[in-house]
Amino acid sequence: MIAAVVIFWLAAGLIVWAQIGYPLAMILAARAAGSARRPADGAPPAVSLIVAAHNEESVIAAKVANALALDYPRELLEIVVTCDGCSDRTAELARQAGADLVLELPRGGKIRAQDAAVQRARGELLLFSDANSSWEPAAAAALAGAFADPQVGYACGQVRFLPPDGGDNQEGLYWRYEMALRGAESRLCSVTAGNGAIYATRRESYIVVDPVMGHDLSLPFNIVKRGRRAVYAPAARASEKMVPTTDGEFARKRRMMSHTWPIMLRGGILSPRGYPPLYALMIFSHRLLRYCLPFLHALALAANIWLVAEGAGTVYWVTLALQLALLAAALLAALVPWRPLLVARYYLLTVLSPAAGLWDWLRHGTDAWWEAAEGTR
């Protein structure tokens, strides 16, 4: 029984730390640290905005138009569309819309398409965006402004997910929580991950990574290991359509996690060499523990059932009831679309996605290429 007690409280403690304790500690510490120092204004640098696209004819013209409307000196802004094995009119429509450079490549995946664009791009800063994301007019200037600090090698902006019409996805709630945590991490040290909708690197900080290892997770920690900071620039804002359903969001996260596990297990993120101590804690708490949540929840539930079966104290009946209530709420959400039940369903499927992604990767590996999530275009 002693072993079951230790397993239960260790698993439960790590779950609570990862989901509540760590975010709260970071946010409070960031507030105590005071306002971030604002870098001095200077002449804007030349930038290249790179959009990797695979069969994006439905949105690419609007994306190029959105880039041309940015409040950034046109002579300093280069728009690059790199077509990854497109079989539709993406390249043609990008040229018609006014892109400065359109590359047509055989299909090799998003990362290799971005690598090819970087080789041809002229900008001092490399800005990256998804074809379906829309940037606010000030986004490019706000993103470039983060690099006024010479210690910054990577910056990601703030993406807002537009709620679907009639869908049940609760990603917006989670994303607000995630952005608050990302802001705190940036203030205290560096972010542990970015997002594909809006981010940038210095040209000399760009790193060529394995094509199955996306930039969102690979670039920040690698840039920190090389002695620079990876920061969050909340004034650099973009928006994207949200996957309409929670089931669709689970499928998207499952696909993302099949790319994440190679980074975790052989990409070097878990090696503390080159990390400041605080950043090592951030990687452990925000990345490793977050991705281990399905296994921690399974351990906590199994140990809890064992303890109740062995006649343990009342507290274990309460904790078991709470876990079973979460499962029941998630299942009931399919029949009763009440917001608290939908949040429980979203949480359960989000927690399960790392395990599903790991299974996919171990079973058949991960492809370098990708398909657009249904409903996001």
List, in sequence order, every residue forming a beta bridge with 156; answer none if it has no partner.
199, 232
The whole-angstrom separation of Cα 72 and Cα 243 is 30
Domain boundaries, the chain: 47-244
Burial-class residue 95 by CB neighbours within 10 Å (0-12, 13-18, 19+).
middle
Q: Nearest-CA neighbor of 223 among 266, 290, 184, 275?
A: 275
Q: Which residues, 6+ apart, have CB-to-CB distance to 88 below 8 Å?
A: 55, 56, 57
pLDDT at 37 over 60: no
Q: How do residues 210-223 score in pLDDT, each as one tens digit?
A: 999 989 999 999 99
Return mean pLDDT, the chain: 93
pTM of the model: 0.92
Q: How do residues 279-325 score in pLDDT, each as one tens digit?
A: 999 999 999 999 999 999 999 999 999 999 998 889 999 999 999 99
Give mean pLDDT, residues 37-44.
68
Tokens of 366: 């991960």
The whole-angstrom separation of Cα 231 and Cα 225 is 14
As a whole-number percent, the residues of the chain with pLDDT over 90 amount to 84
Burial-class residue 29 by CB neighbours within 10 Å (0-12, 13-18, 19+).
middle
The whole-angstrom separation of Cα 62 and Cα 69 is 10
Q: Which residues, 6+ apart, have CB-to-CB distance to 38 below 8 Å?
A: none
Give mean pLDDT, residues 89-97.
98
Q: Nearest-CA neighbor of 236 among 140, 172, 148?
A: 140
The whole-angstrom separation of Cα 283 and Cα 26 is 13
Q: For the chain, how big is the Rg over CA atoms in Å? A: 22
Give the angle 174-288-36 at the CA atoms, nearest 5°.
Answer: 60
Q: How do residues 76-85 score in pLDDT, each as one tens digit?
A: 999 999 999 9
Burial-class residue 234 by CB neighbours within 10 Å (0-12, 13-18, 19+).
middle
Fold of the domain built from segment(s) 47-244: Spore Coat Polysaccharide Biosynthesis Protein SpsA; Chain A (3.90.550)
Q: What is the edge-to-edge ordering of all strands in the sheet holding 134-135?
A: 101-105, 77-84, 47-53, 125-129, 199-202, 152-162, 229-241, 134-135
Tokens of 171: 């990603």
Q: How confident is the model at residue 172 (pLDDT cuts 50, 70, 90)?
A: confident
Tokens of 232: 């969050």
Answer with the residue of higher pLDDT: 349 or 244.
Answer: 349
235-247: b or e for each residue (b if 16 or more CB lie within 10 Å)?
ebbbbbbbbbbbe
pLDDT of residue 42: 74
Burial-class residue 375 by CB neighbours within 10 Å (0-12, 13-18, 19+).
middle
Range name among 30-39, 51-60, 154-163, 258-267 with the lowest pLDDT average: 30-39
